[in-house]
Homo-oligomer: A and B are copies of this chain.
């Protein structure tokens, strides 16, 4: 059987990371507020001119609904909604939210909650191979403040690392129960500030985004 070679494009605010099945490591090309999808495709084609791949997965930094970009990105150029990536890349393309792609790559079966501890707070549930992006960060948590206001970047700066870490433990415990998850994976830039991890929790790895992009082409994976 021919195993599909997947080109994975992980679009961030300052970098775009490129991976392809069977090639170790990754390639970084610059992103930024002027990046349009047309420009992205040009840069990707140039950077991967001697790569071989059958299909493409794109991790997009914004909402993706039923496989389609649902809103323009906050930190990039415009023209993303309705852009035809399959036509301009000449390959079948699957789109997924970037955090959901990392969550999918971190998945090891059963029911997993992925929390992205960065500027904001990303929340993605993966159950039985089904990816369920959530927006639980803005629910109230304490004193009229949201989860994100406590365990996002602003909360960490306000409370200090130690207190912030204590709230990460409490929130993981609450959310594991609420979302009926067996374990949590913590990703995002601030995970390194945690010296210990809450029970039933693992650290995510950036490389998992690549695995997530590849898994999008496995038939029993669905993103809802």
Measured CB to CB, the residues of A under 8 A from B are 66, 111, 125, 127-130, 132-136, 138-142, 174, 177-180, 222, 224
Contact = CB atoms under 8 A, between A and B. Distances in A.
A136 B178 contact: yes
Given A140-B142, A141-B140, A125 B132 contact: yes
Given A140-B141, A141-B140, A142-B140, A66 B128 contact: yes
9 contacts: A125-B132, A128-B222, A130-B130, A130-B132, A130-B224, A138-B178, A139-B139, A139-B178, A140-B141
A41 to B, nearest CB: 28
Given A129-B224, A140-B140, A140-B142, 10 more contacts: A127-B132, A135-B177, A135-B180, A136-B178, A138-B177, A139-B139, A139-B174, A140-B141, A140-B174, A222-B222
A171 to B, nearest CB: 10
A199 to B, nearest CB: 18
Contacts of A133: 180
A178 B178 CA distance: 12
A170 to B, nearest CB: 10
Nearest to A125: B132
Contacts of A135: 177-180
A179 B133 CA distance: 8
- Which 10 A-B pairs have CB atoms at the shortest separation, nearest pair first? A128-B224, A127-B224, A136-B178, A130-B224, A139-B178, A130-B130, A135-B180, A135-B178, A132-B132, A135-B177
A135 B125 CA distance: 13
B180 A130 contact: no
Given A66-B128, A142-B140, A134 B180 contact: yes
Contacts of A224: 111, 127-130
Contacts of A141: 140
Contacts of A139: 139, 174, 178
A222 B130 contact: yes
